[in-house]
């Protein structure tokens, strides 16, 4: 990574604005059910504090759609942060304006403030120049440690960098970029790419970009049905992207012509609908009944995929194998998670649903690296430039 990092700048006495990703799951009673993303940013926060900075933290939470929403307030995060840092984290009830500026003006080195949800302002996602200036008004050094939003050109990840002198990457951002870039640029082989989730459209560029670099591609989840339909098989009422059938066929042929092994499910758990109590059965990929929906990979597929990754030395996994959120359809995803955990390899899991599945399967401690960003990880694997990274100050040393 050719961007300046937090440890390359003098922080003493400076107002350090850290854009974090505290978009954690919060129950209706206000309890945070998984604080992994908060913990992941602690090394950056603690380093800034240890080096005498005045730390201003900012993040989004949920999807408040550009207006204040009590259930997405950052107060709960401030309480958890105080506990994790073992010090007071002052909570600002907005992220810009005179009250925030006053709070920052009163700060001493070692103090911490957490701003209110950035997305309570529609200007954040619009990358509004005025909003960017307002955030920069109380910032000496900008630190982007929110890899999960690095693929978005928002005011707090991109626009702000135009109005501060120094913009650097935090330690989590550096770790995320280095892991993903190294895995793709110089992988130990065999290198296996596992893709799942709902749609082919979100993963086409990943397959095309990595087809020259991987040894095997495994496709599960609902996106598999587009590939299966493309080769002329019926898939019942399973999710299919009709406009991508030719694309799927072309990609599959292109990949196989390059000598890359391409795996699709050979059986599925199917149901008449997505209801928890719907009747289910296991059928081969050629025998999905009309009107039925494939909601998980079957046992034969689980065995096939497990065998395919046994000799892997590098594995990247993004996207579950089925609707794992429901108990009736979680077995395939959890089985693959456990298989990946058991392989003696560098294992990298893309964020979002896949990270949740890894945690629910109880194998997160056995995975080499779990990314905090699903969309950002995918775009990096696609070879795209991430706005939140490109906007940072170049490291010319």
Query: Is residue 196 among the annotated active site residues?
Result: no
Handedness of CA 290, 295, 297, 298 (dihedral sign): negative
Of the candidates 39, 93, 133, 199, the residue annotated as catalytic is 199
Set 52, 62, 66, 375: catalytic member: 375
Which DSSP string corresponds to 77-128? HHHHHHHHHTS--EE-SSSSSHHHHHHHHT--TT-EEEPPPGGGSHHHHTT-
Selected catalytic residue, list 319, 352, 373, 374? 352
Q: Are strands 280-284 and 267-271 parallel, antiparallel or unpaired?
A: antiparallel
Of the residues 4, 14, 15, 37, only one is catalytic, namely 37
Our answer to whether residue 37 is catalytic in this structure is yes
What string of DSSP letters covers 258-300? TT-EEE--SEEEEESSS-TTS-EEEEETT-PPTT-EEEEE-HH
Task: Reply yes or no on whether 375 is catalytic.
Answer: yes
Q: How many CA atoms lie within 13 A of 4 on its CB side?
A: 18
Is residue 21 left, alpha or beta, with left meaning phi > 0 and alpha meaning psi from -120 to 50?
beta
Q: Give φ, ψ of 387 to 5 degrees.
A: -55, -40
Whether 13 is a known active-site residue: answer no
Catalytic residue IDs: 37, 199, 352, 375
């Amino acid at each position: 990574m050719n961007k300046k990092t937090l440890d390359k700048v003098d922080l003493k006495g400076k107002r350090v604005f850290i854009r974090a990703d505290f978009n954690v799951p919060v129950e209706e009673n206000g309890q945070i059910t998984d604080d992994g993303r908060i913990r992941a940013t602690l090394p950056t926060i603690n380093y800034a504090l240890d080096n005498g900075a005045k730390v201003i933290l900012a993040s989004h939470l949920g999807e408040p759609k550009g207006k204040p929403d009590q259930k997405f307030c950052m107060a709960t995060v401030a309480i958890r942060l105080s506990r994790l840092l073992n010090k007071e984290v002052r909570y600002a009830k907005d992220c810009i304006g005179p009250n925030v500026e006053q709070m920052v003006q009163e700060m001493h080195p070692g103090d911490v403030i957490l701003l209110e949800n950035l997305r309570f302002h529609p200007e954040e996602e619009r990358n509004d120049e005025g909003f960017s200036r307002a955030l920069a008004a109380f910032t000496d050094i900008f630190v982007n440690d929110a890899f999960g939003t690095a693929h978005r050109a928002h005011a707090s990840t991109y626009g702000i960098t135009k109005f501060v002198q120094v913009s650097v990457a935090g330690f989590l951002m550096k770790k995320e970029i280095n892991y993903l870039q190294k895995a793709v640029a110089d992988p130990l082989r065999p290198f296996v790419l596992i893709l799942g989730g709902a749609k082919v459209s979100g993963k086409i560029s990943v397959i095309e970009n990595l087809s020259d670099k991987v040894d095997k591609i495994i496709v599960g989840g609902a996106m598999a049905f587009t590939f299966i339909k493309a080769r002329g098989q019926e898939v019942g009422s399973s999710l299919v992207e009709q406009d991508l059938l030719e694309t799927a066929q072309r990609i599959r042929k292109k990949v196989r012509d390059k000598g890359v092994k391409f795996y699709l499910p050979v059986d599925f758990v199917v149901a008449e609908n997505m209801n928890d109590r719907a009747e289910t059965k296991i059928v081969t990929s050629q025998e999905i009944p009309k009107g039925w929906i494939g909601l998980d990979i079957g046992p034969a597929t689980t065995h096939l995929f497990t065998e395919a990754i046994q000799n892997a030395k590098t594995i990247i996994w993004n996207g579950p194998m089925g609707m794992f959120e429901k108990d009736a359809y979680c077995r395939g995803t959890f089985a693959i998670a456990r298989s990946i955990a058991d392989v003696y390899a560098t294992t990298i899991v893309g964020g979002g649903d896949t990270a949740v599945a890894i945690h629910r399967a109880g194998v997160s401690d056995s995975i080499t690296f779990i990314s905090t960003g699903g969309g950002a990880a995918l775009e990096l694997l696609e070879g795209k430039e991430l706005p939140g990274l490109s906007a940072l100050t170049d490291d010319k040393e």
